[in-house]
């Protein structure tokens, strides 16, 4: 049985690499060639032209849902807002309050239906964009993106949205506490199913992006899924690897509580 070391202790030894919030695409492609395409597709854009209404159902939590009418940007149905609202409420329950979550995501964040793209993303500003694939397993599969074990469009949307919310949480801690929990994941979690595969950091030269897997697994943890995900195999993690992943998540939560 492998004994898990405290990731908080290991993370304290990390050097802050960057305090600039990431702007790249946030749903990593399964094929290496798609990674660059996804990142290129998610560069920060100007706000869409045209009138927009804002659904403020979750404003207290730091989220506003944009309601556009047009071929490029769409509206969220009442059902879709409720589905994503479950994610928001789960994060708020975990961190203690709606106000705390709003601060962690640097709200208010505007949630947008971006019909021009399949991939979803978070921008350096105040936008989370959900692409066409967010609620659609078939579109996601056709574009060869991860579905992370989702069995329905609603479940996929919750994981995708939770992935983006987790990015904003890690970005805030990186910026305000000068602690990079994406790097902490990369330094302590091995990339494959066994320690012999090496950590994410050890595979960095191969283009490995630890934070993408980290935020996916944080979303799965927050949503109380009974599994975590291994990107290298595109499959659920082994029980032993999940113990380490959940240890990282628990240490992140404890660290966040300490700096509030």
Instruction: Say which DSSP state 106 is in.
Output: T
Please report the pLDDT score of residue 9 as a whole number: 35
Please report the pLDDT score of residue 17 as a whole number: 29
β-bridge partners, 130: 113
Please report the pLDDT score of residue 66 as a whole number: 95
Q: Are 140 and 208 in contact, with CB atoms under 8 Å apart?
A: no
pLDDT per residue, tens digit, the chain (260 aa), is 222 334 433 333 333 323 333 333 333 333 333 333 333 333 344 566 667 899 999 999 999 999 998 788 899 999 999 999 999 999 999 999 999 999 999 999 999 999 888 888 887 668 999 999 999 999 999 988 889 999 999 999 999 999 999 999 999 999 999 999 999 999 999 888 888 888 888 877 655 689 999 999 999 999 999 999 999 889 999 999 999 999 999 999 999 999 87
* Per-domain residue ranges of the chain: 7-259
Please report the pLDDT score of residue 18 as a whole number: 32
Sorted by sequence, the CB contacts under 8 Å of residue 222 that are 6+ apart come out as: 87, 90, 91, 94, 162, 166
Phi first, then psi, for residue 236 (nearest 5°) are: -60, 145
Q: Locate all alpha helices (DSSP H) within the chain, ordered by sequence.
A: 7-11, 32-41, 78-95, 98-104, 137-142, 153-177, 181-188, 210-222, 239-259
Instruction: Say which DSSP state 72 is in.
Output: S
- For the whole model, what pTM was predicted? 0.80
Please report the pLDDT score of residue 126 as a whole number: 86
Phi first, then psi, for residue 111 (nearest 5°) are: -95, 125
Please report the pLDDT score of residue 112 as a whole number: 93
Please report the pLDDT score of residue 242 as a whole number: 96
Q: Are 134 and 150 in contact, with CB atoms under 8 Å apart?
A: no
Q: Are 199 and 187 in contact, with CB atoms under 8 Å apart?
A: yes
């Amino acid at each position: 049985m492998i004994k898990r070391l405290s990731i908080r202790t290991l993370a304290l030894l990390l050097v802050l690499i960057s305090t600039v919030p990431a702007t790249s695409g946030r749903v990593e492609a399964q094929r290496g060639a798609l990674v660059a395409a996804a990142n290129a597709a998610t560069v920060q854009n100007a706000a869409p032209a045209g009138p927009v209404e804002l659904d403020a159902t979750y404003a207290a939590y730091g989220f506003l849902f944009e309601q556009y009418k047009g071929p490029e940007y769409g509206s969220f149905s009442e059902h879709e807002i409720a589905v994503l609202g479950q994610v928001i409420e789960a994060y708020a329950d975990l961190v203690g309050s709606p106000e705390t979550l709003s601060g962690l995501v640097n709200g208010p964040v505007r949630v947008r239906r971006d019909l021009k793209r399949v991939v979803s993303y978070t921008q350096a500003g105040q936008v989370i964009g959900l692409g066409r694939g967010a609620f659609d397993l078939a579109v996601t599969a056709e574009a060869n993106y991860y579905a992370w074990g989702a069995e329905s469009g609603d479940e996929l949307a919750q994981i995708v949205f939770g992935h983006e919310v987790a990015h904003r949480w890690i970005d805030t801690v990186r910026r305000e506490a000068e602690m990079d929990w994406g790097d902490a994941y990369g330094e302590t979690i091995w990339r494959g199913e066994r320690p012999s595969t090496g950590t994410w950091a050890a595979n960095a030269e191969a283009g490995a992006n630890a934070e993408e897997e980290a935020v996916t697994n944080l979303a799965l943890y927050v949503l109380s899924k009974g599994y975590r995900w291994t990107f290298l195999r595109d499959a659920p993690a082994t029980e032993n690897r999940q113990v380490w992943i959940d240890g990282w998540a628990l240490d992140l939560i404890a660290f966040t509580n300490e700096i509030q």
